[in-house]
Amino acid sequence: MKKEIIYRLKKLQRITFTDIYLYDSLRNTIESFYETSRHFVNKDPHLVDALSKNALSAKSYLYSESEHIFFASFAINENKFIFIGPVADESLSFAQKHDFQKRHHLPFKEDLYVPVTDIQIFMDLVSLVYHIVISKEPDPALLRTNLNGNHSIEYERIHEKKQADDDEIYHHTYKEERMFSEAIKDGDLEKTLFYSEFLLPITGKLSNSSLNNLRNVAITGITIATRAAIEGGVNVSEAYRTSDIFINRFDRCTNLLELREQICQSNTEFVKLVQSAMHNRKYSTYVEQCKYYIENNFRHDISLPILAQELGISTSYLSHIFSQQESMTIRQYLVNTRILRAKNLLIYSNNSLLEICSYVGFSSQSYFSHVFKQKTGMTPAEYRNKYKTNELFRS
């Protein structure tokens, strides 16, 4: 290829961020102009085969790989081909990026960049590349963009043949299902969404309709998610209620994008339920430790900073979780514990009121009597007189 042609193609790639490749009939790269972070075409020989066949078919320069991702290819002669792309006609979702990278055996990158452009503008670029390389105008009939999905069939056929071993596909899918399940059980949202999208492209066909197929996959996935959430500590009724809600939503979806969005939402919701259950278990443990400490040290001076230091958490967090779980403050719980111990001593011991007051941790007898009456409606002396004889002589 002449130097001036190479120069112009390099400039076009830098201006449009669209990759351009020159291949020979043996599928070897002669020249390529691409972002080194992408290097899409060179990593997938099956894509090279599909683009070569598209170029030789002389039906259209445009090659539709999926609903929103496109390449272009044309033959310079019977031994040399130009490939251009990929481009997208809209910004790609997480799922679409992952589908693309998995299909072409690329390492997964969430920040994958595929240029977004109007397809007609893309075809203008193809026309310009054609003119630079071949020095004549391209056939207008081959610049049409109404493919109706015809040109993706050959690639899918090649791709499916390569992965036709059913046993291998089954084991691969099972492994990913387990990873998906474990991610939900661990409350890991990032991994859950990753493995959820990872499962969709490789799941075996369950029906002839793409929408029905994905709906069946979604229901299978939510069954796995429900069980994993229960294993992660979510209440059984809550898990199944959430499952029913999203299965109904799946049924109401009318297109693939809407259904994929609901799948993502369902998985996110199950992870949030697990995270909530994990949080509740964690702070429930802190609260129980706090109560245990109070019940064993109620005679001594106890404050919120002392308790927080014992548990290794902040005072504000301990105060929040305790009141949320027990519907009372730590101070109220401490007073209730002291009053309960005082009641027992008033009934079952002969200690004086002053001794009991001091033993249970009150600083003064007057304050003890005041709090005791607030809690029971009686003074300590009245309480002892009412219950001591009855309790001691009850048959």
Residue boundaries of the structural domains of the chain: 3-92+113-161, 166-274, 329-395
- Between 17 and 356, where is the model more confident? 356
Whether 40 has a pLDDT exceeding 80, the answer reads no
In three-state secondary structure terms, 243 is helix
Q: How confident is the model at residue 174 (pLDDT cuts 50, 70, 90)?
A: low
Lowest mean pLDDT among 77-86, 172-181, 183-192, 361-370: 172-181
* pLDDT at residue 272 in the model: 92
Q: How confident is the model at residue 389 (pLDDT cuts 50, 70, 90)?
A: low
* pLDDT at residue 328 in the model: 93
Share of the chain above pLDDT 90, in %: 21
Please write down the long-range contacts of 165-169, taking CB distance under 8 Å and 24 or more positions apart: 166/204, 169/202, 169/204
* pLDDT at residue 362 in the model: 92
Q: What angle do CA 47, 153, 134 make, to 5 degrees?
A: 55
CA distance 350 to 84: 97
* pLDDT at residue 12 in the model: 83
Which residues, 6+ apart, have CB-to-CB distance to 324 below 8 Å? 283
* pLDDT at residue 110 in the model: 60
Average pLDDT over residues 374-379: 93
Contact yes or no for 197/214 (Cβ under 8 A) = no
Lowest mean pLDDT among 87-91, 264-268, 279-283, 320-324: 279-283
* pLDDT at residue 361 in the model: 92
- Between 256 and 358, where is the model more confident? 358
Lowest mean pLDDT among 124-138, 144-158, 277-291, 331-345: 144-158
Share of the chain above pLDDT 70, in %: 82
Whether 167 has a pLDDT exceeding 60, the answer reads no
Whether 395 has a pLDDT exceeding 70, the answer reads no
Closest by CA position to 263, among listed 224, 316, 306, 207: 224
Q: How many CB atoms lie within 10 A of CB 183?
A: 24
Average pLDDT over residues 347-351: 88
User: Which range has the top average pLDDT, 73-87, 188-202, 272-286, 363-377?
Assistant: 363-377
DSSP assignment of 157-211: HHHHHHT--HHHHHHHHHHHHHHHHHHHHTT-HHHHHHHHHHHHHHSPP-SSSHH
CA distance 308 to 313: 5
- pLDDT tens figures, 282-327: 667 888 889 989 988 998 999 999 999 988 889 998 999 889 888 9
Q: May I ask the CATH class of domain 329-395?
A: mainly alpha
* pLDDT at residue 310 in the model: 87
**Mean pLDDT taken over the chain:** 80
3-92+113-161 CATH, one of 3.30.450, 3.30.200, 3.90.870, 1.10.390: 3.30.450
Whether 166 has a pLDDT exceeding 50, the answer reads no
Whether 171 has a pLDDT exceeding 90, the answer reads no
Q: How confident is the model at residue 147 (pLDDT cuts 50, 70, 90)?
A: very low
Q: How confident is the model at residue 164 (pLDDT cuts 50, 70, 90)?
A: very low
* pLDDT at residue 173 in the model: 60
* pLDDT at residue 213 in the model: 79
* pLDDT at residue 341 in the model: 93
Whether 107 has a pLDDT exceeding 50, the answer reads yes
